[in-house]
Structure 1
Amino acid sequence: MTVTLPDLLPAELRRSWAVDGTCPDLDLYSLFRARQIADLHRTAILDAKGKLCYTALDRKVRSLAGGLRRLGVGPGDVVAVQLPNHRNAVIADLAVAALGAVALPFPVGRGAVEAECLLRRAEAVAVIAATEHRGQTHAADLVPLLPALPALRRVVSAGPGTAPAGTVPLRDLLRTDPTGFVAARPDPDSAARILVSSGSEAEPKMIAYSHNALAGGRGNFLASLMPDDTPPRCLFLVPLASAFGSNGTAVTLARHGGSLVLLDHFTPEAALEAMREHEPTHVLGVPTMIRMMLEQMERTGEHVPAPTALVLGGAPLDEATATAAADAFGCSVVNLYGSADGVNCHTGLDHKVPPTDRSGVVAGRPDPRVAEIRVADPESHEPLPEGQIGEIVSRGPMTPLCYVASPALDARYRTPEGWVRTGDLGYLDGNGVLHVVGRLKDVVIRGGVNISPAEVERALAGHPAVHDVVCVGVPDPLMGERLAACVVARGGERPTLDDLGTYLTAHGVDRYKHPEHVVILDAIPLTAAGKPDRAALRHRADEERHATEPARA
């Protein structure tokens, strides 16, 4: 049985974007194939194995698609992919699209428990996983799930080493003769990919996107950051299997005919080396990664060729980081506000450093070719006038079809007219610029008073002794929660709680919002998707707090 993925947007609205040319109205593999035919030997991928051109990539895609078809994968089937940033991930993505099937990528590093949840709910018929990656054996770990998941028929193991028992080696499938493969031609408005969001739910949210929503809506986002028609060369510091990484295969390659520069694991040293060697036009990452790269550049005095833009999303960007990055990299820094749920807005190339307001870096001007954005009353969903704070809602060419196997999420986060409720609070100013001020739920409640961790993070980011900071709530028997600041210190300085409090007071942050515990870290831990791991930080802060004196009342 194939999972049902209905489109919650009005059909006539979805079609209108194809008719007016906003979306290309072609499936992802057909778009990629047209790019391959137009420039046979353009470089498609630069990874640890070297260069791979469009024609060589297409042969591998067709071989894998033929091999998967022999295993019984057909149109509408869900195929999961758990691979690092490597050509195999791109080959798998395009092969699934060529079959008219639906890709479900999720990053390496996520364990079998979470994988089982994703595979079960999506009714995946196959999963392609790494034989070994940085000490983890994902393919072998997934084999025991086969008896418990009736829909799951095959585990395909990819990468060097001996294929684990019970798996099909990817290299065997890649030996399939590509000349006999005939690609499917799925409806461009049908599902192509399922994005996985960590979100705030008990289980990861899964969101289904169509070919047009990816290549059209998300493709228009990247197009707005291309100053001319030159195909982009994009260095992805985030996993291709993340929501942010969905701008890789479908957008950079299929829509724009560009090149992907891939690192199978992020380190600041490897990222800077890739920038020197491959001179990407666009570097896509999260602010924490850029701060780590800036620290490396400060330590070594090294320089890299200037790209067109650093595109930073996935976590709040502060003014200090944006300014330092613009100076060090010599390019525009783009603040990207977006999520897997279906919202996108950015500050563009007009500003070398993104504009700021009292709340920090602004989100930018919404682009209706990507997503129209409104601010609505959280209860009535009625639009609010400019300047008034409410819930940010979004609807446009990149709007997803639905949440996967979760009518409850559809009911909670989608309106009857198809608008996506983001759960974010913000306002539109008189110039139509979006300002994000916080989350409806992302608050620390101390003694009945709400504190926004994002507000405190933005303020502390400017402290001269703070290189990076994430604020989290920790449980407290008296106050319910207290705020902890997890800090990566700059240089040899170790800011104390009093140092942070004095700085916050000087910068107008009310006393009740000040952190009551500070944790000094060597680096901010990241999730498999490349975002700050707030769960790990809460655990660390809670442990340290219990090991020291009780926090002040």
Structure 2
Amino acid sequence: MTVDLHDLLPAGLRRSWATDGTCPDLDLYSLFRARQIADPHHTAVLDAKGRLCYTALDRRVRCLAAGLRDLGIREGDVVGVQLPDHRNAVIADLALAALGAVALPFPVGRGVLEAECLLRRAQAVAVIAAVEHRDFRHAADLHALTRSLPDLRHVVAVGPGEAPEGTVAWTGLMRSDPKAFTPARPDPDSAARILVSSGSEAEPKMIAYSHNALAGGRGNFLASLMPDRTPPRCLFLVPLASAFGSNGTAVTLARHGGTLVLLDHFTPDAALAALREHRPTHVLGVPTMVRMMLERLDADAEPLPAPIALILGGAPLDETTAAAAATAFGCAVVNLYGSADGVNCHTGLAHAVPPTDGSGVVAGRPDPRVTEIRIADPDTHDALADGAVGEIISRGPMSPLCYVGAPDLDTRYRTPDGWVRTGDLGFLDADGVLHVVGRLKDIVIRGGANISPAEVERELASHPRVRDVVCVGVPDPVMGERLAACVVPRGEDAPTLESLGEHLSARGMERRKHPERLLVVRAVPLTAAGKPDRAALRERLTPAGTDPVAQPHQPPLAQAG
């Protein structure tokens, strides 16, 4: 049985983007193969093992595809992938595309319970996983799921390390004859990849994307940041298995014939070393990662080789980080507003530091070759006039097909004519620039009053003693919730809760929005997808137990207001 991956967009609209050339109208492997033929010795991947050119990569892809076909993997089958950022993850991506199968990547570090949820709902027939990576033994853990997941027939174990009993060794599949493999030719508007997003749901959301939506819509996003159309060299600080990382194999390689620079896991020192050694044209990460890198930079060190763009998404970008990064990296800092659900807008290359407004960094001007953006009434979905604040909705070439195994999410987050409901509030100004001002749901409710954590984070980021900050709501028996600021200090002296409040007052923020708890941490913990781990921070703030790294502060409680 294959999971239903239907398209929520009108068929004629989807086809129109292929007809007018907005989307390439080829499957991902065919696009990659054309790049390999055009420049066979161009470097495709730079990772811990060194350089891999397009021709060598294609041979490995065909070996794996032949081996997977011998296992019975067929067109339309969903196959999970849990691998670190390494050439093997790219090989798996392209081999599944060549089979016409649907890849379901999720980052290493995600636990077996979440993996079981994803694989069950997607009806995955196989999963490709690392034997060991750091402290994880994903292949063995996932093989244990075969007893409870009737659709899961195979676990492919990728070394180093010996394949656990009952799994299929990657090395054996890679000995298959590449000449015996004939690629499938799937419909470019059919599903190619399932993106995973934690979102605000109890279980992770899975969103199906077509070949055209990835190479076309998302490919046009990266094309807008390639001023001379030279194939890009992209350093991915985020996992390729994340939604942000979907701009890797499908976009950087298959669409644009570029090079992927990969780290098997992010550290600020490794990222800076890769930037100096490989001189990427584009660096893709989240603001927290960049703040960690800025902390490591020595003022007396040789300047970094300047990329074309530092593309920051996944979390709100504050003005202080943007300005510091533009100076340190010597390039345009691009604020990317986007999500796995199907929205994308960015500030482009015209400004070294992204423009700001009264609410912070703006989102930029929507590109209809990526996705059209409208502001709508949250209840009726009717379009609102320029300047009016409403829900941001999105529809265009990068729009996904549907949510996977979750018709309730289709109903909740897609309008009847296919527009994606982001849950974000914003407005379009007279020049067509998108401004994001908050979220319909992402709020802390203190005594019946709503507080936007993102708004407070934005203002606290400019405090002279704050290197990084994440605000979370913590349960309170009196007020329901109270706001806590989790701060990475700049320098040795941490700010006090009082000094944070004084700073917010000086910036005009009303007292009821000030944080009432302070947690000082050495670094913001990150999820497997590379985003700030708000749940982990919230757990540290609970009364049970103490944290040797973090020091909670318990100030007098403010009055409700």
Q: Is the 8 A contact 1:213 1:397 kept in 2?
A: yes
Aligned counterpart, 1:110 = 110
CA offset at residue 78 of structure 1?
A: 0.2
1:330-351, Cα deviation, whole Å (9 max, x unpaired): 0000000000000000000001
1:407 paired residue number: 407
Deviation at 1:541, TM superposition (A): 2.0
Q: Which residue of 2 aligns with 1:365?
A: 365
Secondary structure, counterpart of 1:542 in structure 2: coil
Are the counterparts in 2 of residues 371 and 395 from structure 1 also a CA contact under 8 Å? yes
Q: Which amino acid aligns with 2:140?
A: A
Which runs of no fewer than 5 residues in structure 2 stay unpaired?
none
Q: Is 2:308–2:331's contact at 8 Å kept on the other side of the alignment?
A: yes
**Does the Cα contact within 8 Å between 2:76 and 2:100 map onto a contact in 1?**
yes
Does residue 145 (structure 1) correspond to residue 145 (structure 2)? The answer is: yes
Q: Which residue of 2 aligns with 1:510?
A: 510
| Root-mean-square deviation over aligned CA pairs | 1.1
Cα distance in 1 for partners of 2:542, 2:341 equals: 30
Q: Give, in whole Å, the separation in 2 of the partners of 1:288 and 1:163.
A: 35
C-alpha displacement at 1:426, in angstroms? 0.4
Question: Counterparts of 1:452 and 1:300 in 2: how far apart (Å)?
Answer: 39
Alpha-carbon distance between aligned partners in 1 of 2:241 and 2:555, rounded to the nearest angstrom: 42
- C-alpha distance in structure 1 between counterparts of 2:482 and 2:298, whole Å: 34
Matched residue of 1:234: which SS? strand
Q: Within 1, Cα distance between the matches of 2:253 and 2:151?
A: 31
**1:84 aligned onto 2:84:** yes
For 1:215 and 1:416, locate their aligned partners in 2 and report how far apart those are by CA, in whole Å.
Answer: 25
Tell whether the 8 Å contact from 2:519 to 2:552 is kept in structure 1 after alignment: no
Aligned 8 A contact 2:263 2:270 in 1: yes
* 2:263 alignment partner in structure 1: 263
Aligned residue identity for 1:9: L
1:59 aligns with 2:59: yes
1:120-519 alignment runs, 5 A limit: 120-298=120-298, 301-519=301-519
Whole-angstrom CA distance in 2 between matches of 1:272 and 1:230: 23
Deviation, structure 1 residue 168: 0.6
**TM-score with structure 1 length normalisation?**
0.99
CA distance in structure 1 between the partners assigned to 2:121 and 2:161 by the alignment: 30
Note the C-alpha offset of 1:549: 6.9
* Cα distance between partner residues in 2 of 1:241 and 1:532: 16
Asked if 1 retains the 8 angstrom alpha-carbon contact of 2:231 and 2:259, the reply is yes
CA contact (8 A) 2:465 2:489 kept: yes
Counterparts of 1:300 and 1:74, CA distance in 2 = 56
- Is the 1:297–1:303 contact (alpha carbons within 8 Å) kept by the matching residues of 2? no
Which residue is equivalent to 1:17?
A: 17
CA shift digits 1:271-327 (9 cap, x unpaired): 000011100000000000000001100477353200000000000000000000000
Match of 2:74 in 1: 74
Mapped partners of 1:151, 1:106: distance in 2: 18
Please give the alpha-carbon distance, in whole angstroms, between the structure 1 residues aligned to 2:304 and 2:552.
44
Aligned length: 553
The CA distance in 1 between the partners of 2:16 and 2:542, in whole Å, is 52
Paired AA for residue 355 in structure 2: P
Partner of 1:42: 42
Q: What secondary structure, in the 3-state scheme, does the structure 2 residue paired with 1:458 have?
A: helix
Contact kept? 2:520, 2:552, Cα under 8 Å:
no
CA contact 2:518–2:552 (8 Å) conserved in 1: no
User: How far off its partner does 1:550 sit?
Assistant: 6.9
SS of the aligned residue for 2:542 comes to helix
What is the identity, as a one-letter code, of the residue corresponding to 1:470?
V
Q: 1:303, 1:532 → 2: CA distance?
A: 28
Q: CA deviation at 1:14?
A: 0.1
Specify the code of the residue in structure 1 equivalent to 2:540. Answer: R
Aligned-pair distance for 1:381?
A: 0.5
**Residue matched to 1:538:** 538
Give the deviation of 1:11 after TM superposition: 0.1
Give the gaps of 5 or more residues in structure 1: none
Q: Given residue 493 of structure 2, which amino acid in structure 1 is its aligned partner?
A: E
Residue deviations 1:226-269, cap 9 Å, x none?
01121000000000000000000000000000000000010010
* Cα shift at 1:546: 8.8
What SS does structure 1 have at the residue aligned with 2:297?
Answer: helix
Separation in 2, partners of 1:143, 1:431? 54
Asked if structure 2 preserves the Cα contact closer than 8 Å seen for 1:282 and 1:307, the reply is: yes
Q: 1:487 and 1:271, CA in 2 relative to 1: closer, same or farther beyond 3 A?
A: same
Give the deviation of 1:159 after TM superposition. 1.9
TM-score (norm: length of structure 2):
0.97
Give 3-state SS (helix, strand or coil) of 2:518's partner.
Answer: strand
Q: Is the 8 A contact 1:486 1:541 kept in 2?
A: no
Contact 1:74–1:99 (8 Å) recurs in 2: yes
